[in-house]
Amino acid sequence: MKFSEYMNQWLYGENGYYMTYKSIGKDGDFYTAVSSSKFFGGTIANHIIRLVDEGFLAKDGTVCEIGAHHGYFLADIVEFIYTLRPELLKTLDFVIIERYDSLKDFQINYFQESFGDVVKLTHYKSLKELKCNNAFFVANEIFDAFPCELYYKGKCARVERHEIIFDIDDSFTEEKTKKYYKDRGEIAIGYEEFAKDMAASCKKFEFMSFDYGEMSARPDFSIRVYAKHNVIPFFDEKINRAELFANSDITYDVTFEHVKDAFVSASVEFLELKAQMTALVNMGILDLLEILKEKSDEKIYKQELEKVKILIMPNFLGERFKMIKFRQNRL
C-alpha cells in the first residue's frame, strides 16, 4: 500500500491509535498546548470576544473546533467565555467536527459533566455537513495528523510488511516536491480538500490553527513516532514498526506554505503565520494572568504562571509551534 494509506491505518484504522482513548500529558504519549494549560483555551476565548466586539463574529455566530480529541480545548474556551463574557454562552453556537463516534461520545459526556445543560454542543462528522453564515474555526495540531506521502529522489514510498520501499511514481506528490523545493520528505495529503470544505461550509469566518513546523519545507524527513514521551525517528535502524503500529503516535513537521497555498487556492485570505509565543501574547494571555493575579491567591497564580510558561517560552512550545490564520468574508 502507499505510505499515506499505511499512515491512515496507523492513526485512524479500526484499531488505530486515535480510535481509542489516549491519555495526554505526563501519563500519556505526548504533551499538547491544551494539556499544558487552560489558559491556551482561555486566550482563544479572549480572542473570540474581541472578534465579537469588532463586529467580525456575530453574537449568534458559530464557534467550531475541528479534531477536538477529548473536547478539553473547546471546554476551556467555553469556561473562559463564561468568566469573561457570560452572556455570550446564551447566543453562540458551539460545534465540534468529529468523525469518530467513540470520541464524540467522550466529548458529549465531558461537556455534560462540565456544564450540564448550560452549553449546547452540536456535532458534525465533517465540514461538508456544516452550513453557517458566520463562524470562528479553531484547531490544535491537526495538520500534522493528515496522512502524508514519503518522497525520495523522484519516487514515493509504499509499505510492505512495515518495510518502506521507494518505487512509486505519483504526479501529485512530484508536483508538490518541485513547488516546495524538496527532493525528500513528507507531502501531506488532504489539505486542498479540507480548505475547500471549510470555504464552502461558511460564508464569513476566521480560522486559526496551531501546529509545529515552518513556512518553508524542511530539506529532509521529519517523520517520527512518539511513544511514552520518547521520540523515535521513523528511519531509525532499530525501530520496530510492527510493534509501534497503531500503538503510538506518528507525525511530521507541517509545511505551512502548503497549508497557505491550499486555502488561497480555495479563495480564502491568508492573514498571518506567527510563533505561538507571539500569537498568544498578542491575544492577551498575559492580561488573563494579571486578572488571575488580582482575583486569586499567590500560590494559584504561580502555579498557572508556570503552566503558561510552557506555552510561550521559546525553549518549550513557544517558538517551535506556530499559529496560522485565515479569513473569508462572502456576506
Where helices occur in 23-134 by DSSP H, the ranges are 33-36, 38-54, 72-84, 101-115
User: What are the pLDDT digits (tens) for 163-202?
Assistant: 999 999 999 999 999 999 899 999 999 999 999 999 999 9
Q: What is the pLDDT of residue 23?
A: 54
Taking 70 as the threshold, does the pLDDT of residue 30 lie above it? no
pLDDT of 18: 85
Instruction: Band the pLDDT of 231: cuts 50, 70, 90.
Output: very high
List, in order of start, the domains of the chain with CATH numbers: 1-27+148-188+219-252 (no CATH), 31-142+190-215+253-320+322-326 (3.40.50.12710)
- How far apart, in whole angstroms, are the C-alpha atoms of residue 328 and residue 244? 41
The per-residue pLDDT for range 40-57, each reduced to its tens digit, is 999 999 999 999 999 999
First-to-last alpha carbon distance for the chain, in angstroms, is: 44
Query: For residue 31, what pLDDT is reported?
Result: 53
Beta-carbon-side half-sphere exposure of residue 328 (alpha carbons within 13 Å): 25
pLDDT digits (tens, 9 = 90+) for 264-303: 999 999 999 999 999 999 999 999 999 999 988 999 999 9
pLDDT at 100 over 90: no
Q: What is the pLDDT of residue 22?
A: 53
Alpha carbon separation from 169 to 98, 166, 176, 192, 268 (Å, rounded): 33, 9, 13, 20, 31
Report the pLDDT averaged over residues 106-130: 95
Helices 101-115 and 72-84 sit at what angle, rounded to 10 degrees? 30
| Type of residue at 179 | K
